[in-house]
């Protein structure tokens, strides 16, 4: 299987040509090792930082913006969003506070990106 990707590791945006045969992944076009790591992860276990909003009981900020503390497996993002949209947070919440800890044992948390009183 062949695939082309633009590396998002830095503004240079190298065009990566990826070839996958069985478990062997060959990457060309990367200008540094991060491009190879990114390509291999995209082919085997793509991840994204998830941003969302969570309902609060605050009149000042009824929807609190949140994000994952690290890139989260793409295949598990929809269930995570369903879970977040059903949550209600009670203030006070400070920017950086954990809203959801250790999502499904992943070691990744959902944290607030804004404060709310």
**Residues engaged in binding ligand SF4 (CB under 6 A):** 7, 9-10, 12-14, 30-32, 34-35
| CB nearer ligand SF4, residue 7 or residue 116 | 7
Q: Is there a contact between 95 and 115 (Cβ–Cβ < 8 Å)?
A: yes
Helix (H) or strand (E) holding 104: none
Q: Longest C-alpha distance within the chain, in Å?
A: 55
Tell me how far, at minimum, the Cβ of 40 lies from ligand SF4, in Å.
12
Tell me how far, at minimum, the Cβ of 15 lies from ligand SF4, in Å.
9
Tell me how far, at minimum, the Cβ of 76 lies from ligand SF4, in Å.
25
| CB nearer ligand SF4, residue 9 or residue 68 | 9
| CB nearer ligand SF4, residue 26 or residue 57 | 26
> What is the sign of the dihedral through the CA atoms of 68, 58, 91 and 117?
positive
| CB nearer ligand SF4, residue 31 or residue 57 | 31
Residue 98 half-sphere exposure toward CB, CA atoms < 13 A: 9
Tell me how far, at minimum, the Cβ of 17 lies from ligand SF4, in Å.
12
């Amino acid at each position: 299987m062949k695939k082309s990707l633009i590396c998002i590791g830095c503004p240079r945006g190298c065009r990566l040509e990826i070839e996958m045969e069985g478990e062997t992944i060959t990457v060309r076009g990367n200008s540094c090792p991060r491009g190879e790591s990114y390509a291999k992860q995209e082919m085997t276990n793509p991840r994204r930082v998830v941003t969302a909003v969570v309902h609060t009981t605050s009149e000042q900020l009824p929807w609190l913006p949140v994000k994952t503390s690290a890139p989260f497996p793409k295949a598990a993002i929809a269930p995570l969003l369903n879970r977040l949209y059903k949550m209600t947070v009670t203030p006070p919440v400070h920017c950086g506070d954990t809203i959801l800890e250790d999502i499904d044992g992943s070691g990744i948390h959902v944290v607030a990106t804004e404060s709310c009183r």
